[in-house]
């Protein structure tokens, strides 16, 4: 009886150890990550694990983020006219899953935040300086701001992508401006406002002149139409009537007698 109890107890222990060992030999990779496997015999395995549960044996698994990250960074640059400025840049990126192992091997145990504030920050700084150096400060805050931004994005992407960092988009705010540049901007704005005002006044005068010309044409057409109607209505009877009215107004009338027409002054 004692031996049976002993065997049962041993069996329970084996089952428990098997269950615990089963949990040990499996690992779960969370959503938005890949799993970097590190063998106890030494070295990182060449293939990362996708999300889900995997049999890993005695390997150690590190969760490595591949989801999109949004970063904000302030960069100091100089423009082509020698003006020093700083600008706040925002960008989004993610880690290429197929290159996650290579990234881990390159940067070792450094977490993704350390890479963002270190290696990626340096690449962004270099790309920003190269792009902004092609424009004056006035151009950067004016007509060529989109060109400068596009230049930074392109250079940053070319620098980061070969190493497994995919830059999705980038934008930057208004650079800090010195007093001289601010005055130039104010002058440009004022000149634009003056031009706009002059254009508006010229358009108003042109509109008024057109309205006056249209009014004169309308009046002339009305007068011509009235004259045409009058001319069309005149005949011998109308002329005789108008003549009679005129004679009456001025005191003379024509009287028909048996022998002749006699003009007489009215009373």
Query: How many Cβ atoms sit within 10 Å of the Cβ of residue 137?
Result: 25
Distance CA 167, CA 19 (A): 44
Whole-prediction pTM: 0.61
Q: Which tokens sit at 202?
A: 């010229």
The full set of domain ranges for the chain reads 2-63, 69-177, 178-230, 236-265
Rounded to the nearest 5°, which phi and psi values hold at 117? -85, -10
Q: How confident is the model at residue 258 (pLDDT cuts 50, 70, 90)?
A: low
Q: How far is CA 79 from the centre of its chain?
A: 23
Inter-residue contact 120 to 128 (CB < 8 Å): no
Q: How confident is the model at residue 25 (pLDDT cuts 50, 70, 90)?
A: confident
What is the rounded average pLDDT for all residues in the chain?
78
Q: How confident is the model at residue 154 (pLDDT cuts 50, 70, 90)?
A: very high
Buried b or exposed e, range 223-260, using 16+ CB within 10 angstroms = eeeeeeeeeeeeeeeeeeeeeeeebeeeeeeeeeeeee
> pLDDT tens digits, residue range 197-220?
566 666 776 777 777 777 778 887
Distance CA 153, CA 123 (A): 11
Q: How confident is the model at residue 56 (pLDDT cuts 50, 70, 90)?
A: confident
Q: What is the pLDDT of residue 198?
A: 60
| Residue 192 pLDDT > 60 | no
| Residue 14 pLDDT > 50 | no
> Domain 69-177 adopts which CATH fold?
Tetrahydropterin Synthase; Chain A (3.30.479)
Q: How far is CA 44 from the centre of its chain?
A: 44
Q: What is the pLDDT of residue 17?
A: 42
Q: In 3-state terms, the chain is what percent helix, strand and coil (to 5)?
A: 55, 25, 20
Lowest mean pLDDT among 95-99, 142-146, 239-243: 239-243
Query: How many Cβ atoms sit within 10 Å of the Cβ of residue 93?
Result: 21
């Amino acid at each position: 009886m004692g031996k049976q109890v002993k065997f049962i107890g041993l069996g329970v222990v084996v089952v428990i150890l098997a269950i615990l060992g089963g949990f040990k030999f499996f690992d779960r990779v969370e959503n938005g990550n890949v799993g970097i496997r590190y063998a106890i015999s030494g070295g990182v395995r060449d293939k990362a694990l996708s999300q889900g549960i995997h049999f890993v044996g005695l390997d150690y698994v590190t969760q490595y983020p591949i989801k999109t990250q949004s970063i904000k960074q302030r960069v100091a640059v100089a423009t082509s006219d020698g003006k020093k400025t700083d600008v706040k840049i925002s960008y989004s990126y993610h880690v290429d899953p197929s290159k996650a192992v290579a990234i881990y091997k390159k940067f070792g145990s450094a977490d993704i935040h350390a890479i963002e504030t270190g290696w990626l920050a340096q690449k962004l700084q270099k790309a920003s300086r190269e792009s902004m150096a092609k424009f004056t400060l006035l151009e950067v805050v004016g007509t060529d701001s989109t060109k400068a931004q596009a230049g930074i994005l392109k250079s940053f992407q070319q620098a980061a992508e070969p190493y497994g960092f995919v830059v999705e988009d980038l934008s930057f705010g208004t650079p800090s401006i010195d007093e001289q540049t601010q005055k130039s901007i104010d002058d440009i704005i004022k000149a634009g406002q003056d031009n706009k005002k002059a254009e508006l006044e010229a358009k108003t005068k042109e509109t008024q002149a057109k309205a006056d010309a249209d009014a004169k044409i309308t009046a002339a057409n009305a007068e011509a139409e009235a004259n045409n109607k009058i001319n069309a209505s005149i005949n011998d009877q109308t002329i005789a009537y108008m003549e009679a009215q005129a004679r009456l107004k001025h005191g003379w009338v024509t009287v028909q007698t048996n022998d002749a027409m006699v003009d007489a002054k009215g009373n």
